[in-house]
Every structure is written in structure tokens, then in C-alpha cells.
Structure 1
Amino acid sequence: MFDVVAAAAAIAPRIRAAADTIEAERQLPDDIVAAMAEARLFTLLAPAAHGGAEAEPTTAIRAVELIASADGSAGWLAQNGSFESALLGWLSSEAIAGMRALKSRGSADILVGGANLPQGTAVEVEGGYLLDGRWDFVSGVMHSNWILGGFWVLDRPGGERRVGADGEPLQRIAFIPHGDGEVLDTWNVMGMRGTGSNDFVVRDLFVPAERTMWYADPAPFPGPRFRRPYVGTWGWSLHGGNSLGMARGAIEDLSALAQTHDSKHSTVLLRNRPHVQSAIGEAEAIVRSARAFLLEAVETAWVAAHEDAPDAIRRVWIARLALMHAVHEAQRAVQLLYDAAGSNVIFTKHRIERVLRDLNVAKHHVAASRQHYEAVGSVLLGADDPATLPLD
């Protein structure tokens, strides 16, 4: 089996060297995209039969950590692409072959970016759907050749949402060739600038039914990897890995800085100052603890899901708690490091400043919502009316 962790470790120095360019250009350089794609770092969770790494979630977390320790935006694009490409697991081999034959952006490989929230609408027509939509936060849109977009199915153009057999409005997710839409430059943000998560727009686009999916559809592959409600947890767990990887990189950066730098008001090296020593020690404890919880919780949920254990869903909720906790603990650790380093790291040229900005954006992703505390607490307590969040 292809070793994605070793591949991530090998490419991380190149990504770190390109970090300033990634930040300035708000996208990955072409050579980094090519190297990460070859290393399957955008397809960590995608089916091997469709060209992905099909790594177990804890292995994928470790790979994303290594990329994120070099650059948070690159790590984010690895995690997001890997989650989105996992949804290829709902498509048939014939659909995948058709996508490859189109050679979107000149390549038969399939790199997926996108936003699966239903920000589009479509009407069903013969053979597929006629789709309109504008999706924001489309991470990967600058380098991906296939864009994933969620949509509501309407009963007629401009009409009402159709309702399925379960009484819920019908949703689907489309895989769209990059060239069939337009990228709008909207990604002007405080952090995660290098993800280039711009908007993507399509108008009156025909999408074949075979290039759409929904979680309730039967997946061609057996087991809980490509099955509701588990797939969202495997994908979102990488978000925790990305944040912890950034925090690990910041610890290493301050440790290196402390060997050679003092400050404006003292010639004592940072490494010899008690408050810096305390910050490094506390950050180390925070990151190691959050990482241990994340890996244990995700592995336990993975095993429970494969064994179809009675408490599998409960384990999924704990994994969701762990990944949310990891994001916020990573931000807390880096804030400690930033405060301890003083004016040495207030300049945009310094990685700790960038990591802090990146984490303050990452923590606003729905996967890191603090509502998970309430939701998981209600599950653990067996509440009569437990709070819920989407599980995918």
C-alpha cells in the first residue's frame, strides 16, 4: 500500500519553502499541486479503485499534520480535497471513466474542490439535471479540475423544492468540470489565504445524473467508509489534524527562534526566559493531549463502525467532539506561543503570526463549531430531546 505519511514527510520541506508564495498568490504553485497530487495527498480518503489513497482516517490525519506543519493552507487543501474526493465513492466506475475521458483542465486525473452545501438549484430533465448555482468557500477551486456543488431539486424552474419519500426536501451533489463554471475572486480574508477558496458559478448547466450523488444513495463499495453517517466524520477528522499540524509547526518555529533571538528590552535569549519556557511547555502539553484524544476517538469510531457495534454512533459523536476540540486547542496553544515571543513575531514575514491568523479562520468552520459540546453532551446524558448537528 502507498505510504502517504512518508510521502507527506518528503514533500513538506518543499511546501514550507513555498509558503510565502502560497500566501501572496492565494493558491498553491503548480509544481506543489503536481507533487501533492502524485503523492495522493488530495485524495487521501478517495477509493483506491478511483485512483485515491483510500487511507484509514488516522493515517490520513498524520499525513495532513505533516503538510500543515509546513503550511496551513496546503494542509487545508489536502484535507478538503480528500474529504470531497471521498464522495467519488458514490459514483460508478462508468461515471469515473467518463469523467477521466473528459480530461477537465487537460488532465485525466480527478482533483476535487468544492462546497457540498446546497447553494444551487436544479430541475430534473432527461438524463440528469439542469443546474444553476453560486457556491462560496470553494476550497481547491484554483487547482482542482472538478468542482463539487450541492443543490436542491426543484419541481420546476423557479419552483418549490421537491420532497423525497422521507418527507425531506431533495438534495444532491454534482461533480462539475472546472471549465463549465466561472471562478469569482472573492477570497480576501485574514487567514488561510493560500487556500484560494473563491466563489464558483454555473448557469443552466446540464449535469448527467451519473455525476451526481447523495449520501443516502447506495455506494458501490461495502463497509462504513462510504456510508452515512460515517463519511463526514472521517473527512472532518482531517480538520483536527490540519490544526494540530499548524500548532506543531509553530512550536518548532518558536523553539528555533528562541535559540538566537532576544528582544528590544533585554539581551537574554528567549530560550532562557521563564515565561517562554512556560509557554513552550504548556503548548506542548496542549497539542499532545488534543492529538492523543483525536487519534484515539477517530480510531475507536472507525473500529466500532466496521464492527457495526451498538455504540458506533455514540463513538462518532465522540470523534466529532475530539476534532472540534483539536482545532480550538491548537489555536489556544499558538496564542500562547505568539504572546510569549513578543514583537519578534508580529511581522507578516513570521510563520507564527501567519499560523495564528490561519487558525483563527479554521476555527470558524462548522466542523469546529462549539455547538458540538452541547450536541455530544446531550448524547452522553441521554437527553429526551438531544441537540443534533449534521453527521455529514
Structure 2
Amino acid sequence: MMPQQEIDWLSLAESLGKEFAARDIEADETDLFVADNIAKLRSNGLIAAGVPIELGGGGASHADLCAVLRILGGYCSSTALAFSMHTHQVMVATWRWHNQNAPVDGLLKRVANEHIVLLSSGGSDWLQSGGTAVKVEGGFVVNARKVFASGAPAANLLLTSAIDRDTENGATVLHFAVPMNAQGVAIETTWQAMGMRGTGSHDVIFSDVFVPDAAVTLRREPGKWHPLFHIITMIAFPLIYSVYVGVAAAARDRAIELAMQRRTDEHLCYMVGGLENEMMAANLALGHMISTATTSQPGFNTTNQIMTGRTLVAKAALNVLDLAMEIAGGSAFYRKLGMEKLFRDVQGVRYHPLREEAQRKLSGQLALGWDLSNN
């Protein structure tokens, strides 16, 4: 393999994506986790791609990794989505190391040297969190069920949170990392879903898991925005939503290919034109999210830009698949064409936070000048 700093990440993603596409259908039809694909990402350096070169990683930029995930999303959406959950944790830590001198170099060095895979429960926990943390000597005992843990079967370290309700100042969310092989941690294979069936987004169960005091990296009030969540929003969502734009782009390309094989009429041109409009909308909204993450500082205004982009990408991606199905006609209903799988996979774009209702509320509050400092 070439020296890390010389790797063409996009070409590597194209090459691996073509290989992953062959296993995509099997994962969809059997609910089989894409373990072999994650292993390939690890052996080809992509697990550590976002770690700074100074810490032993590949030094890939946030924009590069968005492009990688968009490419992979078009070949094997489950691999791309599972990988995005690891990638955003790496890139959040990298941003904090570069911009805040945060003490995350130990974690990043482990990703670079040991090629560990990180797992997130953030989307299902979000600001409120879930589970209980009870104080004991030297730490906490945690009991929880963490749902939608994409990539769980391949993960080595879970970055998660739970609520300590027995504090003088009221309930407190504790953030910590737990090895997936720790005593009391188990995966319950619940992931039988409409789409993204190969992501291994099972439930992770905590049964009296001991978390030492030293492992707690953050304490915050439940349901309130914390500065860390503005960083997470800024970095994570352009990466995650790149996957869905990749899915939409694959459906667009397939629909165009089918349309070119048919007799062209004005109605078909009209539908294809609409498809192109929606694909452009998805690309523009995603591009705005990526550029915002590259040029902005975290805070409510940046979060608003990112989350508005998330809503616009979701709408456009869903519209792309609707139009692609219409253009393909009845053949889209056949599983062998692959269009219905893309249609099912893109539905996941609806469910990551902030969903549209919450995003519109936040945008409205900011537009009307509300003070959100305590929100």
C-alpha cells in the first residue's frame, strides 16, 4: 500500500465499492451484517483514514471522507452507513484535537495503531440520553438498552451515555466509552428492518456494567444543548447524509440508463428533468453542509445550517427515489432490478436527528431571535 499521505481515498473507495456491491444483495436478503466489507475497510486503511498523520493515521480531510461515503453509498449502502458511524466519531475527535487541543490523542492513536472500530449510540440517545447510571465506589453501574447501534458486530469500543439521577443538581447525563467485550455488554440481534439491512444496527444491552470514574469524559444536563453537541452536529451529519446522497445518485443513474433504452417522449423527458432537479437539490444541500462544516465554528447558527441542510437532503433524496421508481415503471417493482432496494434503503434518511419538526422549530426560534442559551 502507498504511504498514507499519498493515498487517493476516492479511487480506493471506488475500487472497494465495486467489490462490496457483489455482497450488497446477499446482505439485504439475509439481514447479514457486512462484516467482510468492514474488514476490507480496516485492511485498506480507511478505518484510520481520518486520524491525523501526526497521530499515525491517514490524514484524510472531512470533505474527502464525505466523498468516500457518498461513493460507498452508491455501491453498498449498508457498508457506507455503518462506516459513517465510526467515521464521524473519529472526525469529531480529530476536530477537537486540531481546534481545542482536546485530550483525545489516546483514542485516535488506538484507531490508527490498533484499527479499532468505534460505535455510537448518539442518534438514539441524542440530547436526552437513556439508561441509568448508579454511583458506586470508584465509578458507576450502568443498565441500558442502546438501539440502532449501526456496526455493532464489528465494533470494539462504544461511545455512549447514561443518566445519573441521584445528584444534588438534578439528573446528569454521563458520557463514557465502554469496550464491547466488557462484562455485562451484549448485542441483541434485533435488526430486521425495511432497508439498510446489512448495517448490523442491533441493540446493545448493558447489564450492571461497571464504568470507572476515570472513563466519564463529560457531564451535562439532559435535554439541553451542550457545546459538544454542536461539534457533533457540524461534523457528523455531512458524513452520514453523504451516504444517502450516494444512494439517491445510484437510483438516478439506474433510472437514466433505463429511460435511455425506451422510446423518448415529452412526458419521459419531463420526469427525467424533475429527477435531475431533485438530484441537484440533494447535491447542493449536501455541499452546503460540507462547506459549513469546513469553514464554520460550532454553535447554534452552524447547527441550524447543518440541520436545515439535513432536512433538504432528506426531502430531495426521497423525491429522487420516488421519481426514479416512476421512470423505471413496473420493472422497478422487481427485486432483480435493484431499484426497490435503493428505495427501501433511502427511507432511513428520515430518522436521524434532528427530524424535520424539531429542525423547523430550532430554525424558527433562531429566526425570531429567541435566546437559546439555556435550551
TM-score over 0.5 for the pair: yes
Match of 2:146 in 1: 135
Q: Secondary structure at the match of 2:205?
A: strand
What does the per-residue CA deviation read over 1:125-160, in whole Å, with 9 as the maximum and x for residues that have no partner?
45443222211111111222222332112xxxxxx3
Question: Contact 1:91–1:212 at 8 Å: present in 2 too?
Answer: no
Amino acid aligned to 1:294: L
2:65 pairs with 1:60 = yes
Match of 1:75 in 2: 80
CA offset at residue 184 of structure 1? 0.9
Match of 1:33 in 2: 38
Q: Give the TM-score taking structure 1 as reference length.
A: 0.78
Match of 1:122 in 2: 133
Q: Secondary structure at the match of 2:149?
A: coil
Distance 1:169 1:30, change over 3 A: closer
What does the per-residue CA deviation read over 1:294-342, in whole Å, with 9 as the maximum and x for residues that have no partner?
223431343232xx8xxx6423311221122112211111111112211
CA offset at residue 114 of structure 1? 3.0
Match of 2:223 in 1: none
- After alignment, is 289-298 or 246-255 more displaced? 289-298
Question: Contact 1:321–1:372 at 8 Å: present in 2 too?
Answer: yes
Match of 2:176 in 1: 173
Question: Contact 1:45–1:83 at 8 Å: present in 2 too?
Answer: no
2:23 pairs with 1:18 = yes
Question: Contact 1:149–1:174 at 8 Å: present in 2 too?
Answer: yes
Match of 1:373 in 2: 360
Separation in 2, partners of 1:47, 1:127: 33
Q: Secondary structure at the match of 1:194?
A: coil
1:288 to 276, 280, 284: 280
Distance 1:203 1:136, change over 3 A: same
Q: Secondary structure at the match of 2:335?
A: coil
2:237 pairs with 1:236 = yes
Separation in 2, partners of 1:91, 1:322: 31
Separation in 2, partners of 1:215, 1:68: 35
Separation in 1, partners of 2:32, 2:53: 27
Separation in 2, partners of 1:299, 1:66: 18
Amino acid aligned to 2:70: E
CA offset at residue 277 of structure 1? 3.0
2:137 pairs with 1:150 = no
CA offset at residue 350 of structure 1? 2.8
Gaps of 5+ in 1: 101-106, 154-159, 217-225, 261-268
Separation in 2, partners of 1:95, 1:126: 26
1:9 to 10, 14, 38: 14
CA offset at residue 39 of structure 1? 4.1
CA offset at residue 201 of structure 1? 1.0
Separation in 2, partners of 1:4, 1:210: 36
2:119 to 113, 123, 126: 113
Question: Contact 1:239–1:367 at 8 Å: present in 2 too?
Answer: no
1:304 to 277, 287, 296: 296
Q: Secondary structure at the match of 1:229?
A: helix
Q: Give the TM-score taking structure 2 as reference length.
A: 0.81
Separation in 2, partners of 1:141, 1:33: 11
Match of 1:248 in 2: 249
Amino acid aligned to 1:130: V
Separation in 2, partners of 1:47, 1:119: 32
Q: Identity over the aligned pairs, expressed in percent?
A: 20
Distance 1:239 1:206, change over 3 A: same
What does the per-residue CA deviation read over 1:66-107, in whole Å, with 9 as the maximum and x for residues that have no partner?
00011221221121121234465666545677x78xxxxxx9
Q: Secondary structure at the match of 2:121?
A: strand
Match of 2:97 in 1: none
Distance 1:119 1:354, change over 3 A: same
Q: Secondary structure at the match of 1:18?
A: helix
Separation in 2, partners of 1:242, 1:57: 14
Q: Secondary structure at the match of 1:238?
A: helix
Distance 1:133 1:374, change over 3 A: closer
Q: Secondary structure at the match of 1:193?
A: coil
Question: Contact 1:240–1:326 at 8 Å: present in 2 too?
Answer: yes
Distance 1:356 1:7, change over 3 A: same
Root-mean-square deviation (Å): 3.1
Question: Contact 1:81–1:111 at 8 Å: present in 2 too?
Answer: yes
Question: Contact 1:131–1:205 at 8 Å: present in 2 too?
Answer: yes
Question: Contact 1:27–1:196 at 8 Å: present in 2 too?
Answer: yes
CA offset at residue 14 of structure 1? 0.9
- After alignment, is 226-235 or 65-74 more displaced? 226-235
Separation in 1, partners of 2:143, 2:10: 39
